[in-house]
Chain A
């Protein structure tokens, strides 16, 4: 013990008189370890704490405070009480000591064992003895932190202090300027307001001391290490100002005043603060200021050119209206909402009726914001506005005017989340139902496409609200829509019509089944209409089919199209057939949400598709007549239909699907196909002799089995794998063997890891290395091994380039087999790992390779890099930069393009390493701007454009050279190239020029 004491005395001595700061840390470690107690420390400090030299006393207090900061949690209540009394007393001491005293107090107030009454006494002494604003920044922050921790732990005691606490706080904050401390002060004020402290008679004082910062204008210094943003300050001040309705009488006039400001951010802030007020205030606080607020909001919305001010103004108005709608009516007082809305209506309504419609949009937006705030408000506004709008519409004859009016109307028809009628309430538009439908139908028959587009939007909005369209109206609407689909060829209009049909069909399937589908079917299969009309019909069919009942009607039509394409009766082109398949795929996507649709696809559509394709393939083999269904483009379009549908199958039907597909392809079991007229023993996976024909149907097998969930057991998988392997290695037809290889990869991917999988892989590897036939067979699990092998190929001059493309295949997401949608097992970050494992080898290989083989390595590298996620690219690129620059001067255009595309995002945030390479970079990029390939020219110009954003001093030396070089592509023969050249050259002209940047 005596030894410890002498150690402690030594430490204290060295800290206080020896000025060795590191001794404080040693002391606190000692206290924490239990080597000394706080009491011993205080005793050891005795002499210095009572010294007559303020510096010595300061040093003593500093040591004690620093130790307390480390070990405040282990203090007992008794110790805290004594220490607090000491520190409170020291607050009256010499000014050099105060900073250390406050540090100590801050540590003590964080204690969990504060004795009762201590919070009050600490605060009283701080407020009495210290003038906070004359302290330094760090000490002021100490005071706020003391307040915050006391408010956390001793809320009751502080509330007991009453208004004195508020007064003390107001006094200590008054004049604070540092943003860091302001954030703390705002936090204290927010606590005061939200936790229900009694503000007493200091409401106005507290408001004044806080509102003097409103609206906040703060731009952080460049390279600000503290990271305080204007946004943070604005939000925390707003929480204080709008936290209580007691501030209303001061805040609202302030907002009205600040809205007159010329600074845009001040206006936006004021409007957003007003919107926040709407949540806490009631109509009593607002009533007096409503006319003033309204005229300010109206002025801002109708005069501003900035969308931010406009949207802030509109949301402020809607917050006000919804606040008023919440008010409880007294029997004797008038309805404040009614009064306010009649003011709004009086100012806005006449603009909707003026002949030139000049201010129609600002007024309409204001009215819509008011109407959207609550159900009651929308009742009042619609009752006044909709008849006026309808009358206007009928009086106008110009299409442009009618369109504007209809667009305005659309805003009122669409209810917002707040104004939606509750259960049991009717839509506000019920009274105008008849005339609204009339107007929409008359607009649909107009000749202007713009007007018709707007009308379809209003129609969908009407259809979505119950009770606004009677059965006859729905039927009429469907008739109009089918007429538009058949007759109108404006692309914007037809996409609007298709969208509208889709949304209506979801709610009124019956009308669409009975009216639209038969008409479209007739049109498609009549064989007389031209391709564009048929295409529109097919798209429309796809978009209305979102419910099972509609799907059951629409998909047979599409199947019929495929069947008649197969027989060649209606003269469908390959493109049309592929488009039909795309529509089927869109419908298949709904199977994910509805089991019924999934079952329908499983039972009817997939067997039919398989049957048709099989028929087509057999017919081609036997008769030589070629059906569109044997075309590779069509088959590749059918694949996503099946895989989308299969991916959505539930477990039972999924395993049935797998069994059926496997038995069809392995054993030629055709029993589940419709129109059972196939020869009994078809060998689908065996046909190796002829080109294509039956073997290409293996892509359909891939579509069925590879997208099933991983849990589904695939029967006879070993035999299947063997046959697929055979097919992919021996078949000479490109489409067949790639599909077989993809299917193989998909199946391997789904198998659980284990001996069986390893055996399969080993066998494949052996075979591949013997045959070197097909470089894309395995894709994921065997990626690494296969890659090493691919890697060996890079130095083989003939196969090198093909192998480099293999890297591209591995790195890009494969659309049809290996993606998450098909339940494939995609390991996270496999690209990054792949990159990490292989890039160094590639770089080494590049360095050791002979001149003519280097391009293969560059190609592989650029494939890998351009498929990496952006973040990884950014971190890895500095190291690879020299190689990529080399790749830019490589003659292969594909390499140039992929290198440019990975360089461009990097140039937006250039790494340090780039600075030294600018000379090389510029000369290569500028040379590429005259490349023979258009895409390379465009990409290189985009890179040159991006370079103009680099810091001025680094790129200014190149300005003249770039401007001269860019004059050449200005006269390029392709417009897209000229466009990029113009954009890049304009930026380079602005660089370093007055008024530029």
Chain B
């Protein structure tokens, strides 16, 4: 915490990580089709790194399984995320990371909606609007500095 810029939220509450999904017999069965469910989407995004802490979004409780909604048949995914503090300037970046992770990991038939949990951020509407705008997301990913930060959030952590 000494030197460098000060963190906005220097001492966040840390939550426990949930375990790996348990394998069931139907997972091994060739003939059963497994639909994409909430837990599967949550598993995709829970390990995303926070841009300023060495912790995952799950450990900071930014994403929770109950705030993930997926409808496989209608190809819809909706994810709500909760910034750690209402004035968090990283909210857009976190949202962008979640969006990019889902874009890379889901079949392109899905419509992906990422937004802030209502009432948890000061400039909620502005951030939601940016995240919903396809053109702005694509433009953001053309910016190599922004892409670098997003990639760092998405790279698997080596301890």
- The chain A residues found within 8 Å of chain B, CB to CB, are 262, 305, 307, 933-934, 967, 970-971, 973-976, 978-979, 982, 985-987, 989-990, 993-997
Tell whether B152 is near chain A: CB-to-CB under 8 Å.
yes
Residues of B within 8 Å of A971, CB to CB, are 107, 109
Task: Specify which of A262, A307, A967, A994 is in contact with B147 (CB 8 Å cutoff).
Answer: A994
From known contacts A934-B30, A993-B147, A995-B148, infer whether A986 and B154 are also in contact, taking CB-CB under 8 Å: yes
Tell whether B5 is near chain A: CB-to-CB under 8 Å.
no
Task: Specify which of B36, B104, B109, B147 is in contact with A985 (CB 8 Å cutoff).
Answer: B104
Tell whether B52 is near chain A: CB-to-CB under 8 Å.
no
Cα(A979)–Cα(B43), bound, Å: 9
Decide: A995 and B155 in contact? CB cutoff 8 A: yes
Cα(A624)–Cα(B34), bound, Å: 44
Task: Specify which of A305, A985, A994 is in contact with B105 (CB 8 Å cutoff).
Answer: A985
Decide: A995 and B27 in contact? CB cutoff 8 A: no
From known contacts A305-B54, A985-B104, A986-B154, infer whether A975 and B147 are also in contact, taking CB-CB under 8 Å: no
- The chain B residues found within 8 Å of chain A, CB to CB, are 2-3, 27-28, 30, 33-34, 36, 40, 43-44, 53-55, 101, 104-109, 144-145, 147-152, 154-156, 159
Decide: A262 and B107 in contact? CB cutoff 8 A: no
From known contacts A985-B104, A989-B104, A994-B148, infer whether A975 and B34 are also in contact, taking CB-CB under 8 Å: yes
Residues of A within 8 Å of B3, CB to CB, are 262
Cα(A974)–Cα(B32), bound, Å: 8
Closest B residue, CB atoms, query A987: B156
From known contacts A970-B107, A973-B34, A995-B150, infer whether A990 and B40 are also in contact, taking CB-CB under 8 Å: no
What's the nearest-Cβ distance from chain B to residue A546, in Å?
Answer: 30
Decide: A995 and B105 in contact? CB cutoff 8 A: no
Residues of A within 8 Å of B156, CB to CB, are 986-987
Decide: B106 and A970 in contact? CB cutoff 8 A: yes
Cα(A262)–Cα(B4), bound, Å: 11
Among B33, B43, B147, B151, find the residue whose CB has the most chain A CB atoms closer than 10 A.
B151
What's the nearest-Cβ distance from chain B to residue A920, in Å?
Answer: 27
Residues of A within 8 Å of B28, CB to CB, are 976
Cα(A987)–Cα(B27), bound, Å: 24
Residues of A within 8 Å of B36, CB to CB, are 975, 978
Cα(A989)–Cα(B104), bound, Å: 8
Cα(A986)–Cα(B27), bound, Å: 22
Q: Please list the 10 inter-chain residue pairs (A to B) with the smallest Cβ-Cβ separation, ordered nearest first.
A: A995-B148, A995-B151, A971-B107, A973-B33, A994-B148, A975-B34, A982-B105, A995-B152, A994-B144, A970-B107
Decide: B151 and A996 in contact? CB cutoff 8 A: yes
Cα(A996)–Cα(B148), bound, Å: 7
Cα(A994)–Cα(B3), bound, Å: 26
Residues of B within 8 Å of A975, CB to CB, are 27, 34, 36, 40
What's the nearest-Cβ distance from chain B to residue A810, in Å?
Answer: 28
Closest B residue, CB atoms, query A993: B151
| Subset of 27 A-B contacts with CB under 8 Å | A262-B2, A262-B3, A933-B30, A934-B30, A970-B105, A971-B107, A973-B33, A974-B34, A975-B27, A975-B34, A975-B36, A976-B27, A979-B43, A982-B105, A985-B105, A986-B104, A986-B105, A986-B156, A989-B104, A989-B151, A990-B151, A993-B147, A993-B151, A994-B144, A994-B145, A995-B148, A995-B151
From known contacts A967-B107, A971-B107, A982-B105, infer whether A996 and B30 are also in contact, taking CB-CB under 8 Å: no
Among B34, B108, B159, find the residue whose CB has the most chain A CB atoms closer than 10 A.
B34
What's the nearest-Cβ distance from chain A to residue B74, in Å?
Answer: 14
From known contacts A262-B2, A993-B147, A994-B147, infer whether A305 and B155 are also in contact, taking CB-CB under 8 Å: no
From known contacts A933-B30, A985-B104, A995-B149, infer whether A305 and B55 are also in contact, taking CB-CB under 8 Å: yes
Decide: B27 and A990 in contact? CB cutoff 8 A: no
What's the nearest-Cβ distance from chain B to residue A295, in Å?
Answer: 16
Decide: A996 and B27 in contact? CB cutoff 8 A: no
Cα(A933)–Cα(B159), bound, Å: 35
Residues of A within 8 Å of B54, CB to CB, are 305
Cα(A563)–Cα(B59), bound, Å: 54
Closest B residue, CB atoms, query A491: B22
Among B55, B144, B154, find the residue whose CB has the most chain A CB atoms closer than 10 A.
B154
What's the nearest-Cβ distance from chain A to residue B94, in Å?
Answer: 15
Cα(A868)–Cα(B48), bound, Å: 38
What's the nearest-Cβ distance from chain B to residue A71, in Å?
Answer: 53
Cα(A832)–Cα(B7), bound, Å: 58
What's the nearest-Cβ distance from chain B to residue A558, in Å?
Answer: 27
Closest A residue, CB atoms, query B103: A989
Decide: B155 and A974 in contact? CB cutoff 8 A: no
What's the nearest-Cβ distance from chain B to residue A700, in Å?
Answer: 32
Closest B residue, CB atoms, query A260: B2
Cα(A397)–Cα(B30), bound, Å: 47
Known: A973-B33, A985-B105. 20 other contacts (CB 8 A): A305-B53, A307-B159, A934-B30, A970-B107, A971-B109, A975-B34, A975-B36, A976-B28, A982-B44, A986-B105, A986-B156, A989-B104, A990-B154, A994-B148, A994-B151, A995-B147, A995-B151, A995-B152, A995-B155, A996-B155
Residues of B within 8 Å of A933, CB to CB, are 30
Residues of B within 8 Å of A995, CB to CB, are 147-152, 155
Residues of B within 8 Å of A997, CB to CB, are 155
Task: Specify which of A970, A982, A985, A990 is in contact with B155 (CB 8 Å cutoff).
Answer: A990
Task: Specify which of A262, A305, A974 is in contact with B27 (CB 8 Å cutoff).
Answer: A974
Cα(A997)–Cα(B3), bound, Å: 27
Decide: B55 and A978 in contact? CB cutoff 8 A: no
Cα(A975)–Cα(B108), bound, Å: 17
Residues of A within 8 Å of B144, CB to CB, are 994
Cα(A974)–Cα(B44), bound, Å: 16
Cα(A974)–Cα(B106), bound, Å: 14
Cα(A997)–Cα(B155), bound, Å: 9
Cα(A589)–Cα(B46), bound, Å: 43
Residues of B within 8 Å of A974, CB to CB, are 27, 30, 33-34
Residues of B within 8 Å of A994, CB to CB, are 144-145, 147-148, 151
Closest A residue, CB atoms, query B100: A989
What's the nearest-Cβ distance from chain A to residue B54, in Å?
Answer: 5
Residues of B within 8 Å of A987, CB to CB, are 156
Cα(A997)–Cα(B154), bound, Å: 12
Residues of B within 8 Å of A967, CB to CB, are 107-108
What's the nearest-Cβ distance from chain A to residue B51, in Å?
Answer: 11
Residues of A within 8 Å of B2, CB to CB, are 262
Among A934, A985, A986, find the residue whose CB has the most chain B CB atoms closer than 10 A.
A986
Residues of A within 8 Å of B147, CB to CB, are 993-995
Cα(A243)–Cα(B154), bound, Å: 46
Residues of A within 8 Å of B107, CB to CB, are 967, 970-971
Cα(A305)–Cα(B7), bound, Å: 15
Cα(A262)–Cα(B14), bound, Å: 22
Closest B residue, CB atoms, query A982: B105
What's the nearest-Cβ distance from chain A to residue B101, in Å?
Answer: 8
Closest B residue, CB atoms, query A975: B34
Cα(A499)–Cα(B159), bound, Å: 31
Cα(A982)–Cα(B154), bound, Å: 12
Cα(A993)–Cα(B154), bound, Å: 12
Cα(A907)–Cα(B107), bound, Å: 27
Residues of B within 8 Å of A307, CB to CB, are 159
Residues of B within 8 Å of A934, CB to CB, are 30
What's the nearest-Cβ distance from chain A to residue B16, in Å?
Answer: 11
Residues of A within 8 Å of B101, CB to CB, are 986
From known contacts A262-B3, A305-B55, A994-B147, infer whether A978 and B33 are also in contact, taking CB-CB under 8 Å: no
Decide: A978 and B27 in contact? CB cutoff 8 A: no
Cα(A933)–Cα(B31), bound, Å: 10
Cα(A994)–Cα(B143), bound, Å: 10
What's the nearest-Cβ distance from chain A to residue B11, in Å?
Answer: 9
What's the nearest-Cβ distance from chain A to residue B90, in Å?
Answer: 16
Among A307, A976, A978, A987, find the residue whose CB has the most chain B CB atoms closer than 10 A.
A978
Closest A residue, CB atoms, query B159: A307
What's the nearest-Cβ distance from chain B to residue A303, in Å?
Answer: 8
What's the nearest-Cβ distance from chain B to residue A996, in Å?
Answer: 5
Closest A residue, CB atoms, query B147: A994
Closest A residue, CB atoms, query B53: A305
Cα(A440)–Cα(B149), bound, Å: 50
